Structure 1
Amino acid sequence: MTQASEANPNQTDMKPDHHAVPPARKGQAPEKLARIEFHKKFTASFYDPRFDPLRGEIAKLEDVAWQNYQDSRKAPVTVKAGPGFADPDYDMSTEWMAARDTLLAAERTQKDPATPSRVLLIVGSSRNDGTCPGEMSKSFRLAEWARTAFETEGMQVDLLDLSLVTSTYDHHIHPCKGCVSTAMPLCHWPCSCYPNHSLNQVNDWMNDIYERWVLAHGVLIIAPTYWYQSPSPLKLMIDRLVCADGGNPDPSSTHGKEAEEAKAIELDGWDYPKHLAGRAYGVISHGDVAGIESQRRNLSDWLEWMGLIGAGHQAMLDRYIGYFESYAESHETLDHDTPMQEEARIAARAVSEAVRQIRAGTLKAPDAKLRPARPK
């Protein structure tokens, strides 16, 4: 793994030998669930006594689910990958193939100069009035002001309210499994980790969200600050977008999730394609006590890393709404904060202008054609 230095034969340069593919390290994951533990988890969805007349039928479903779990039946319906893939004979998930085809169509639409300019307006709060909080979020209200400004600027607005994961039946952004840390080519674009039917990891929202990102010419994220950081639905989406930054568009090249095959591909040379680069962005981070600056920087740094283009200083905001004031009156505070309302509109106008310039070819990242010294 190391070579001796010519100047000092006792000194090594500590660089790995890329001709040898390191083995995948094993031993962390526990054994599969015992039958009784599986039973407890499966039947938890049928806790309500209204299901009592159907216990026999539910038991039959459980038997099938148990067998699928034992067999690790992740993708029960497959099709041959076909021409254009590294292994045309590989059995590809039909669900992944459909998601991939959707993104290819979305990319064609986004790049068509005849299509309307489209912005993705993201509400990053967990809160809405359809569940426990009993009240809409301030992020949603700021987004409504931004939406009006976008529409006045002639933008087509796609409002992505991430709070729906807290209030919609069986609606999920499942967590990123971290495949990229094993090897970048193991992280597929779009994500192939979900659905995993054997683990009941289904109803994942991300394929729809991927499409909406691909269709967009610009993005504006509006989010509160929770414990110095982004709310969990927003962070889940961010993590799952790692496949847009270097992800492998051909799962057949790694035969699904074969870790050592992915390591070999990366070590042979990987170009880390940035699938969402060139879009405009803005960020509004707000809070009531602390952490708004760090969240705004984190979001901006993430978007810059993915190759998006900032829409200027007035599109990058961090603001307190009712600094150390009561939570109960925070909406009333926002009612009176007309400068904050106008700043949301200005951020939208700035993103709109950046979108126009990008589509006209007059705004480009100055370093877009430079190859990073350390690509990743």
Structure 2
Amino acid sequence: MAKAPPPRKGMPDPTLTETQFRARYLEQFHDPAFRALDAELERIVQTAWDAYSNHRKAPVTRKAGPGFADPGYDLSVDWLAARDEIQAAKARHDDPNGPLRFLIVNASARSEHTCPGEMSKSWRFVEMAADIFQTADNTAVRVLDLSRLASEYGRNIHPCKACFSTAPALCHWPCSCYPNHSLGQVHDWMNEIYPMWVEAHGIMIITPVNWYSPTSPLKLMMDRLVCADGGNPDPTRTHGKTVSEAKQIELDGWDYPRHLEKRQFAVVVHGDVEGAENVRRALADWLSFMHLCPAGPSAQLDRYIGYWKPYATSHDELDADTAIQEEVRNAARTLLMGVQRDPMGEFTGSELQAPREK
């Protein structure tokens, strides 16, 4: 078996000096109301600097325990809690006596609760789709509203660090890159989002086009879902982020576990000028590559609303376009019927063994 090559190095060091760190940390207390607390803030920034300079990414850990490759390895309690939630979500998904579970993703960042001052058209489509699922028998519906990244305090999806590109085993399921307490990379939403995807039998993504592409909130979530497609469920196998071990595990043979396989999906993409078809295709390709299954042709929709017309009247254009409203409902109905026929996705995917994974 080939020996793993050493990791390549040579990029600029991003480490801050204490002066730089102090200035950046205190930016969050710019409000003059904090001046009465400057003495307390001085103590806090000193503690934060100590955590940063000593790289205390996961300051609270416990032994991994039984069921892990190295039971004596210290694992982050944050990661262990996220793993427990995913396991509970999988049990809900696999329960033959439970409801059919649907997740609807609103991928627009626009809402009346931030600068735009108006709801998105995507949200209106979400409500139409939700009504289809909720009025069916034995269903449970959750809405993941990604606009909260822009409107809710402390709601973040941090960027993927592309561990998978170094070696699949380095990409842990769920993601262990966050929270990183030493860098202040906290409030990461993904540990709540992963179970939403895991428990669902059917997933419907509704999104506008932003500059020929998926929206930035959607793309952040997509990238962080890479660990769901081939990610390593046991960080003790790589003793955290030990690159040489992860590389060797891949070269010795990695099984690419598909943690979301066989769930069915629908995609609705709407635009005003260009790019709707490309974004719809990109999303469907991404979901299919992760071994999720398309519910059917009418569950994949790309349309323009108010083509080349004023943005100010775009909601009026949607009011008038009753055809697209019904097409969105039909996309939801198609996903509903697909899940009703085959809730565990046993017959929608190929049984052929791929000659290579990814």
* TM tier, smaller: over 0.9
Question: What is the aligned partner in structure 1 of residue 59 from structure 2?
Answer: 76
Return the offset for 1:29: 4.2
- 1:10 maps to which residue? none
Write the distance in 2 (CA, Å) between the matches of 1:203 and 1:131. 19
Q: Match of 2:38, as an amino acid?
A: R
Is 1:347–2:331 an aligned residue pair?
yes
Partner in structure 2 of residue 374 of structure 1: 356
Q: Once the 2 structures are TM-superposed, how far is the Cα of residue 30 of structure 1 from its aligned partner? A: 1.0
Instruction: Give how far 1:153 is off.
Output: 2.4
CA contact (8 A) 1:123 1:159 kept: yes
Q: d(CA) in 1 for partners of 2:171 and 2:88?
A: 21
1:1-376 equivalence runs, <5 A: 18-154=1-137, 155-359=139-343, 363-365=347-349, 367=350, 369-376=351-358
TM-score with structure 2 length normalisation? 0.98
SS of 2:26's partner is: helix
SS in 2 for 1:328: helix
Identity within the alignment, %: 54
Per-residue displacement from partner, 1:195-244 (whole Å, max 9, x unpaired)?
00000000000010001001101000000000000000000000000000
Q: Which amino acid aligns with 1:370?
A: L
C-alpha contact (below 8 Å) 1:219/1:280 kept by paired residues? yes
Conserved 8 A contact 1:80-1:91: yes
- Whole-Å separation in 2 of the counterparts to 1:276 and 1:46: 41
Alpha-carbon separation, structure 1, partners of 2:344 and 2:262: 12
CA–CA distance in structure 2, aligned partners of residues 297 and 251 of structure 1 = 34
TM-score, normalised with respect to structure 1:
0.93
**Contact residue 122 and residue 162 of structure 1 kept, 8 A:** yes
Q: 1:276–1:307: 8 Å Cα contact kept in structure 2? A: yes
Residue 140 of structure 1 and its aligned partner are, at CA, apart by 0.2
- Does the aligned pair in 1 maintain the 2:262–2:344 contact within 8 Å? no
SS at match of 1:193: coil
Indicate if the aligned counterparts of 2:201 and 2:344 stay in contact, CA closer than 8 A. no
The separation in 1 between residues aligned to 2:180 and 2:37, in whole angstroms, is 26
- How many residues are matched? 357
Alignment gaps of 5+ in structure 1: 1-17
For residues 336 and 265 of structure 2, the distance between their equivalents in structure 1, rounded to whole angstroms, comes to: 9
In the alignment, the residues of structure 1 paired with residue 256 and residue 267 of structure 2 have an alpha-carbon distance, to the nearest angstrom, of 25
Distance (whole Å) between structure 2 residues aligned to residue 248 and residue 91 of structure 1: 17
User: CA contact under 8 A between 2:263 and 2:345: conserved in structure 1?
Assistant: no
Distance 2:130 2:58 in 1: 39
Runs of 4+ in 1 over 6 A off after TM superposition: none
Q: Secondary structure at the match of 1:202?
A: coil
Kindly state the Cα deviation for residue 364 of structure 1 after the two structures are TM-superposed.
2.4
Tell me the C-alpha RMSD between the 2 structures.
1.0
In structure 2, what is the equivalent of residue 11 of structure 1? none
